[in-house]
Amino acid sequence: MERRHFLKYGTAAGSAFILNKDKSSGTCPEQVRPNEQIEKVKRAMLSMQRHAWEQGVAAQAILESGGDVDLVVLMAKEAFLRRWEDGRLGQVCDNHGVTDPGANGEAVLFAAKVTGDKLLRTAADRMLEYLLRRAPKTSEGVLYHIDNKPQVWIDSMYMAPPFLAVAGRPDEAVKQIEGMRRLLWNPKKKLFSQIWDDGRHDFERKDFWGVGNGWAAAGMSRVIRALPTEMTGEKARLVGYVKDVIDGCLACQRPDGLFHDVLDNPKTFVETNLAQMLAYSIYRGHLGGWLGKIHMKEADRMREASLAKVDSLGLVQGACGSSEFSSPGVATEGQAFCLLMEAARGDLGRFTTGREGA
């Protein structure tokens, strides 16, 4: 089926968007991957044509990787250039995306702050206004993923809530996560289905798509990181949700550390990106102090398995591949999550070896 119709915060400027400082976990991680390989992954990502969500996840990867503020600003400016009148960012064609454009929001907010560019700030505000007031939603206020069908997709859990949280609406970020989870979560399997059709009140796609569960884990991890300290109850619930989906995914893990495209269907192809997405989420949770030492060995194993898929050009092979996302290949999101995974692992290494402040 066609899936679509269609940071490092460690810099001085980027750290302004972290509302809760990460805590040390006390472990001593291994050396991070040599820069040459990761630079190739980055270069390959930047060579790819990108839709709204792809521009957003790529910009987020540069933001969390740190050290290249100018590149984040350039990517934010491109998302701004390709904005729609209704506020949606990064729209290169009419692919009906509702939440996908929100993936650009955090980078645009960051760029507005470091440059003082009022136009960028206005663009971020209008993206927020679109999600809050103009985007189509269920009767309970849960965002649809596309504007031509009344459907809620698990992808949206990454695209919209993290931006809502850093843009000053953490309450709405939590509301969206809770609403999407009510519609898509399978408590027995501890996994998310991909698409709920609100018009038919039934699943459009009930499959437990691996990358979709990765979007959920990574999106919730980013929201946890951004929640203000007073939202302790909400944070605790989200932490439980992330732990549950990680456990559900790991129950389906292959011996080689990777996963099938549909997690509980071994007839589907072996996919690379979910391993990166889960490793990223585990590293962020470990550093944030809300995951403890649990699953660190699994995260390192998934990291090694996915890095072994990087070819000589820096392409992460075996990801759920663009542009149909129905077979193994390469994709911007696969490149981006390699960078995000390494950024999170690198942050963990710097903090636990005493190179970052408390």
Is 25 a domain residue?
Answer: no
Is 153 a domain residue?
Answer: yes
Write down the residue that tokens 């995974």 correspond to. Answer: 341
Where residue 98 sits, what CATH number does that domain have?
A: 1.50.10.10
Is 255 a domain residue?
Answer: yes
What is the greatest pairwise CA distance in the chain?
A: 54
Of 15-19, 246-250, 262-266, 325-329, where does mean pLDDT reach its minimum? 15-19
The answer to whether the beta carbons of residues 197 and 150 sit under 8 Å apart is yes
User: Looking at the chain, how many residues does it have?
Assistant: 358
The answer to whether the beta carbons of residues 241 and 205 sit under 8 Å apart is no
Using CB atoms within 10 Å of the CB of residue 66, give its burial: 0 to 12 exposed, 13 to 18 middle, 19+ buried. Answer: buried
Is 28 a domain residue?
Answer: no
Is 175 a domain residue?
Answer: yes
Structure tokens at 197: 């059709």
Is 353 a domain residue?
Answer: no
Other C-beta atoms lying within 10 Å of the C-beta of residue 358: 8
pLDDT tens digit sequence for 93-104: 888 999 999 999
The answer to whether the beta carbons of residues 284 and 221 sit under 8 Å apart is yes
Task: Measure the CA–CA gap between 303 and 191, rounded to whole angstroms.
Answer: 21
Is 26 a domain residue?
Answer: no
Task: Measure the CA–CA gap between 123 and 159, rounded to whole angstroms.
Answer: 16
For range 49-54, the mean pLDDT: 96
> What are the C-alpha distances in Å from 79 to residues 15, 41, 89, 167, 204?
22, 21, 5, 17, 30
> What are the C-alpha distances in Å from 206 to residues 76, 131, 153, 295?
34, 25, 11, 27
Flag whether pLDDT at 3 surpasses 80. Answer: no
pLDDT at site 25: 36
pLDDT tens digit sequence for 104-158: 999 999 999 999 999 999 999 999 999 999 999 999 999 999 999 999 999 999 9
Is 1 a domain residue?
Answer: no
> Which of 256, 152, 269, 276 has its CA nearest to residue 214?
276
Flag whether pLDDT at 28 surpasses 60. Answer: no
Q: pTM, whole model, 2 decimals?
A: 0.90
Task: Measure the CA–CA gap between 251 and 206, rounded to whole angstroms.
Answer: 18
Q: Provide the 8-state DSSP code for 17.
A: G
The answer to whether the beta carbons of residues 58 and 335 sit under 8 Å apart is yes
Flag whether pLDDT at 58 surpasses 70. Answer: yes
Give the count of domains, the chain.
1
Flag whether pLDDT at 5 surpasses 80. Answer: no
Domain that residue 242 falls in: 14-20+37-346
> Which of 345, 352, 330 has its CA nearest to residue 34?
345
pLDDT at site 250: 98
Task: Measure the CA–CA gap between 143 and 100, rounded to whole angstroms.
Answer: 11
